[in-house]
Amino acid sequence: MNRLEGRVAIVTGGANGIGAETARLFASEGARVIVWDRAPGSPGDGITTRATDVTDGGDVQTAVDEAVASYGRIDILVNNAGILRDAQLVKMKDGVVVGKLAEADFDAVIAVNLKGVFTCTQAVAPVMIRNGYGRILSAASVVGLYGNFGQTNYVATKAGVIGMTRVWARELGPKGITANAVAPGFIETDMVRAMPEAVLAGMRERTPVRRLGQARDVAQAYLYLASEEASFVNGAVLSVDGGIVVGT
């Protein structure tokens, strides 16, 4: 079933993991897919790639112009690009600060995970407004809903993405554009698989369905929100987390 037949989709951070799986799934459902990534690689057959820095407004605008020149439209934007730089706000020992979240790491995560979502959406939105149609999908996280130890910067970005999504749902809804977010839980990406087995076992134990999520689980959520079946879903945060509540 070609649920995205004729649609043009951009997937940021689509070189691997959830982004690559989403790009492949969208392509299999009939979409023409463009992956934006700093090192785009080759996510799959029939997928166009472009080396793009989502934190650079000029580069993003050029990428949008190229996409429109090639395809005439942009129907779907998946703001998937994201990074981690975890550390406690402050770490104390015997009353002395022995560690803290570095300002550079705070700024880096904000730049990609929050500003990057803003920059890409602001650049793509005029194209969608002119066409009277669009789907803006952004990667939040279960930690953006509940918080998580050692992730001040990451949680701030994901909570911010949820807030921006709800603003855009109001601003762009009357123009034929919906904006929604997906909030994954523990997903078995390459980064997660590299963790010690004891840590992975703890993740599974904390997830009520007793398994880690797969990239395909999140990609399927994006597919639903990008499809016509979700035409009345706007401003929503769809949790794909196996029922977990982080931080409890």
| Amino acid 248: pLDDT | 44
DSSP 173: G
Mutual angle of helices 215-226 and 17-28, in 10-degree steps: 50
Residue 65 — φ and ψ, nearest 5°? -60, -40
Helices (H), the chain: 17-28, 57-71, 103-109, 116-131, 142-146, 152-172, 190-193, 197-206, 215-226
Domains in the chain with CATH codes = 8-237 (3.40.50.720)
Selection from 112, 85, 78 nearest residue 182 by Cα: 78
Close Cβ partners of 40 (under 8 Å, ≥ 6 residues apart)? 14, 15, 49, 50, 51, 52
| Amino acid 45: pLDDT | 84
pTM: 0.95
Match 């509940």 to its residue by tokens.
146
| Amino acid 124: pLDDT | 98
| Amino acid 190: pLDDT | 79
Q: Supply the residues annotated as catalytic.
A: 154
* Spans of the chain below 70 pLDDT: 246-248
